[in-house]
Amino acid sequence: MSLPFDPTAASTAYQQALKVIESVEPTVAGAIRGELADQRASLKLIASENYASPAVLLTMGTWMSDKYAEGTIGHRFYAGCQNIDTVEQAAAEHAKALFGAPHAYVQPHSGIDANLVAFWAILAQRIEAPALAEHGAKHVNDLSDADWETLRRALGNQRALGMSLDAGGHLTHGFRPNISGKMFEQRSYGTDPMTGLLDYDQVRKAAHEFKPLVLIAGYSAYPRKVNFATMREIADEVGATLMVDMAHFAGLVAGKVFTGDFDPVAHAHVVTTTTHKSLRGPRGGMVLCQPEYADAVDRGCPMVLGGPMGHVMAAKAVAIAEARQPSFQTYARNVADNAVALAEGLMRRGAKIVTDGTENHLVLIDVTSFGLTGRQAESALLDSGIVTNRNAIPNDPNGAWYTSGVRIGTPALTSRGFDTDDFDRVAELIVDVLSATEPASTSAGAPSKAKYVLADGVVDKTHAAANELLEANPLYPGIDLG
Ligand code: PLP
């Protein structure tokens, strides 16, 4: 396993912790045991999931959770925050050093929260601050009601340009079901219909026509690198702030797989991320930014965030310290190499994948080549012990619910120790299951986008083959819950 830890110490810690939990609420202790057993027994290919180290997980189970600490380091609205200051400072310093960022804000509770903090900071820096200055005020509370009305009208004039959902963008990049779609007038850029690749000329044309305040780059399901130097050029041409959401690929940036033009921190004004996906930390978010955005970003709590979670910021510090070790660069390289092995293994066996390859940690299979919807493929794979998630593909004929794609990623199984040969075998299992799955009809005889039948014996055969791989690469080896 590529995670560093001492199994004897971790076994003792978890056995004792479970005893304490069991004495109060045995159901919860049972679910905790059950979750480890489930995770040990399945091929986890969800591209946004990983396995955090015991040091990261144990850090979260402490009394750092019990403190209120609204405000920023050394400037809190509550007394007695010196230890929270210490962990927040440690997490921010590790993040700045790891990513080469001038400023890091580690309070966001999730990726969505990090994006919300970033959006408000950009609005504050680009619109609110100049508008306040025009009214001779420093803070909205200094304004008369009439002036505040004028300012609100100015705040209404906001445009964001981001990647379309079916090209792999994220809901929080200005789409209607998310608050960002209400804060911003949104327009999307897509990918080239022939190659599936990001078309920078199209982005440039859209930016010049639409003149966004924010150009958003980053994705949840695009299997390629993005040239952030080019995106910054485009942003500069139209006076936009470049915001990159690196939630998915932060581990590849941390591990120096994405460098130069492909390093978002070197080119964007504001970078947001989650800490729990390829970065392999606790569930949470973070904002990195250029100095001119720092004050506004630091107002995240209480502007849009609830009180900072001391236990999670402490775990972020531990995880980012781990990511600063040379072994994390090996891990990140393996994540990317394993994704290539997975993509090639799938294509060699006849599967169609979006963009005919990958340059990051994920692969998007177009399951229409198997005559299936994403929903049918996801369910058939799950029956066989392979955990994936269905995902739209560009111009998806089956829409965002049933979809025509299955997204798979390598961060979690790479943490377990899987190598390129193992991922080639995973590709074989996936193709075997999808080839043995047929769409089925509803009880009324109509074609169904959800129902399917699997050929006899496939589920058992796949489980047996998956078990061989899982046993050869055990999850948290040596950790015994007693
Ligand atoms: N940004 C991107 C690109 C994501 O893929 C995701 C989640 O999948 C998020 C933000 C939201 O992260 P969270 O679930 O932590 O709010």
Encode pLDDT of 51-77 as tens digits.
Answer: 999 999 999 999 999 999 999 999 999
> Reading across the β-sheet that carries 159-163, which strands appear in turn?
103-105, 285-289, 270-274, 241-245, 214-218, 159-163, 185-189
Distance in angstroms (rounded) separating the CA atoms of residues 22 and 15: 10
One of 3.40.640.10, 3.30.70.260, 3.50.30.10, 3.30.1200.10 is the CATH number of 64-323, namely 3.40.640.10
Distance in angstroms (rounded) separating the CA atoms of residues 100 and 263: 10
CA dihedral 18, 19, 25, 26 (to 10 degrees): 80
pLDDT of res. 444: 86
pLDDT band at 181, cuts 50/70/90?
A: confident
Q: Across the chain, which distance is largest between two alpha carbons, in Å?
A: 75
In the reported structure, the alpha carbon of residue 246 is separated from the centroid of ligand 1 by a whole-number distance in angstroms of 9
- pTM assigned to the model: 0.95
Distance in angstroms (rounded) separating the CA atoms of residues 55 and 53: 5
Helix (H) or strand (E) holding 217, with range, is strand 214-218
What Cα–Cα distance (Å) separates residue 451 from each residue in 13, 377, 403, 420?
44, 10, 14, 33
Distance in angstroms (rounded) separating the CA atoms of residues 123 and 366: 38
Task: Among 170, 175, 407, say which to mutate for ligand 1: greatest number of ligand atoms within 8 Å of CB.
Answer: 170
Is pLDDT at 1 greater than 90 in this prediction? no
Strand partners, 406: 365, 390
pLDDT of res. 156: 59
The average pLDDT across 282-308 equals 96
Indicate the average pLDDT of the chain: 94
Distance in angstroms (rounded) separating the CA atoms of residues 339 and 278: 13
The response to whether residue 170 sits with its C-beta less than 6 Å from ligand 1 reads: yes
Is pLDDT at 382 greater than 70 in this prediction? yes
Distance in angstroms (rounded) separating the CA atoms of residues 100 and 86: 20
Locate 269 and state its tokens: 């004004």
Task: Please name the residue ranges forming H helices in 45-177.
Answer: 54-60, 82-99, 111-123, 129-134, 145-155
In the reported structure, the alpha carbon of residue 112 is separated from the centroid of ligand 1 by a whole-number distance in angstroms of 6
In the reported structure, the alpha carbon of residue 269 is separated from the centroid of ligand 1 by a whole-number distance in angstroms of 19
Catalytic annotation, residues: 68, 70, 245, 274, 277, 283
Locate 392 and state its tokens: 């739209």
What Cα–Cα distance (Å) separates residue 439 from each residue in 367, 371, 427, 428?
12, 7, 21, 21
The domain spans of the chain are 64-323, 329-472
Domain 329-472 top-level CATH class: alpha beta
Is pLDDT at 178 greater than 90 in this prediction? no
Q: Write out pLDDT tens, residues 215-252.
A: 999 999 999 999 999 999 999 999 999 999 999 999 99
- The larger pLDDT score, comparing residue 205 to residue 180, is at 205
The response to whether residue 414 sits with its C-beta less than 6 Å from ligand 1 reads: no
Q: Write out pLDDT tens, residues 82-114.
A: 999 999 999 999 999 999 999 999 999 999 999
The average pLDDT across 417-432 equals 98
What Cα–Cα distance (Å) separates residue 393 from each residue in 401, 412, 428?
12, 23, 22
DSSP state of 240: P
- In the three-class reduction of DSSP (H, G, I as helix; E, B as strand; rest coil), residue 160 is classed as strand
pLDDT band at 402, cuts 50/70/90?
A: very high
